């Protein structure tokens, strides 16, 4: 197993502690501070020994940009206190995590991962996303823990959350296979130097032998890059996700859990404003919603150029 570079440790610790602090503060209406501790390497028994009694495992599965799980571990008492704050309570602990409390914790970590993934996407230069998280409650001596966690080892960092009298430690567990991907995506993977072109190798040999450099032909002007239409045709049948976005809004988790049939959610877009057309999460056009043969449809009023559309899908 390769060691985790100190700069990558710092980057991951800051990314997830800042995301967690922001989401915890927003959902509880109270100011949380989080600070990452030192990274350690744990095997499965080491993860089991993090807490006595019941541990809550929050498992996020990467679906784009990265693959594999990322796991958060926290004690049941600390997890239920956090959830009680988010649901408008005073941070009272509970003996189990069920119903609305379980849903609230899942939504909390979905938002934590959404915020962290945005940061990682900006740093990697590509979209990184997950599916919805899983919430698992396990005893410290539970059998089959390795099956739940996946193969060890894990690079673990404690994230200590503090708010007035509440203190909770959330351990972020990065499987080694995920860490290797993060090293490549974030530029921490050493790459071998590219081989020298034939002409450069010959010039190097001449210099080593003490011979004068060979005469060089003046460089030509900039090369023109052409696109092979035949190659482009090969990808024309690829299916892409197309979404019409009418607007968006933000609401506290407590209000989200109170929604019932008939509830109205106000969006941040005027009724007569154009709506967005997104392909693979990137906007390429704007227009208006119309009805065609009894079905909703989208009429384009503004659109990016063909070249811009192709670049946006890269």
Q: What residues does each domain of the chain span? A: 6-185, 240-246+268-314
Angle between helices 176-185 and 99-124 (to 10 degrees): 40
267 within 8 A of 251, measured Cβ to Cβ: no
Rounded Cα distance, 284 and 31, in Å? 38
Q: What is the pLDDT of residue 233?
A: 61
Question: Does pLDDT of 88 surpass 80?
Answer: yes
* Mean pLDDT to the nearest integer, 149-171: 91
* Chain segment 256-307, per-residue pLDDT in tens: 888 888 788 888 888 778 888 888 778 888 888 888 877 888 888 888 776 6
39 within 8 A of 9, measured Cβ to Cβ: yes
The yes-or-no answer to whether 6-185 and 240-246+268-314 have a common fold is no
What's the whole-number average pLDDT of the chain?
82
Question: Does pLDDT of 174 surpass 80?
Answer: yes
Which position has the higher pLDDT, 30 or 280?
Answer: 30
Q: What is the pLDDT of residue 217?
A: 47
* Mean pLDDT to the nearest integer, 39-45: 94
Q: What is the pLDDT of residue 164?
A: 83
Tell me the percentage of the chain whose pLDDT exceeds 70: 79
Q: Each residue of 117-146: b (16+ CB within 10 Å) or e?
A: bebbbeebeeebbbeebebbebebeeeebe
* Mean pLDDT to the nearest integer, 59-84: 93
Which position has the higher pLDDT, 210 or 27?
Answer: 27
Class for domain 6-185, per CATH?
Answer: alpha beta
CATH tag, 240-246+268-314? 2.30.330.10
Neighbours of 72 (CB within 10 A): 23
The conformation of residue 246, written as its DSSP 8-state character, comes to: -
135 within 8 A of 71, measured Cβ to Cβ: no
* Chain segment 178-235, per-residue pLDDT in tens: 999 999 999 886 544 445 555 555 555 555 555 555 555 444 444 444 445 555 565 6
């Amino acid at each position: 197993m390769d060691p985790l570079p100190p700069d990558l440790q710092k980057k991951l610790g800051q990314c997830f502690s800042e995301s967690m602090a922001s989401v915890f503060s927003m959902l509880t209406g109270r100011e949380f501070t989080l600070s990452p501790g030192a990274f350690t390497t744990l095997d499965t028994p080491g993860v089991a020994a993090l807490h006595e009694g019941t541990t809550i495992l929050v498992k996020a599965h990467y679906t784009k940009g990265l693959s594999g799980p990322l796991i958060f571990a926290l004690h049941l008492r600390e997890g239920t206190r956090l959830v009680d704050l988010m649901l408008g309570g005073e941070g009272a602990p509970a003996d189990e995590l069920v119903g609305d409390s379980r849903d609230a914790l899942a939504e909390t970590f979905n938002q934590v991962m959404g915020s962290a993934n945005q940061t990682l996407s900006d740093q990697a230069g590509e979209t990184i996303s997950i599916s919805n998280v899983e919430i698992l409650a396990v005893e410290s001596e539970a059998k089959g823990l390795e099956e739940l966690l996946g193969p060890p080892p894990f690079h673990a960092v404690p994230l200590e959350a503090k708010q007035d009298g509440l203190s909770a430690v959330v351990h972020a567990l990065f499987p080694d296979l995920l860490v290797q991907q993060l090293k490549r995506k974030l530029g921490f993977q050493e790459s071998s130097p590219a081989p020298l072109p034939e002409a450069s190798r010959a010039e190097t040999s001449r210099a080593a032998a003490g011979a004068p450099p060979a005469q060089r032909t003046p460089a030509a002007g900039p090369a023109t890059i052409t696109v092979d239409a035949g190659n482009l045709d090969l990808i024309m049948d690829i299916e892409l996700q197309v979404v019409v976005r009418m607007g968006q809004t933000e609401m506290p988790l407590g209000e989200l859990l109170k929604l019932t049939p008939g509830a109205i959610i106000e969006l941040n877009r005027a009724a007569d404003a154009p709506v967005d057309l997104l392909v693979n999460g990137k906007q390429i056009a704007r227009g208006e919603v119309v009805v065609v043969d009894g079905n909703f449809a989208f009429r384009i009023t503004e659109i990016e150029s063909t070249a811009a559309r192709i670049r946006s899908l890269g």
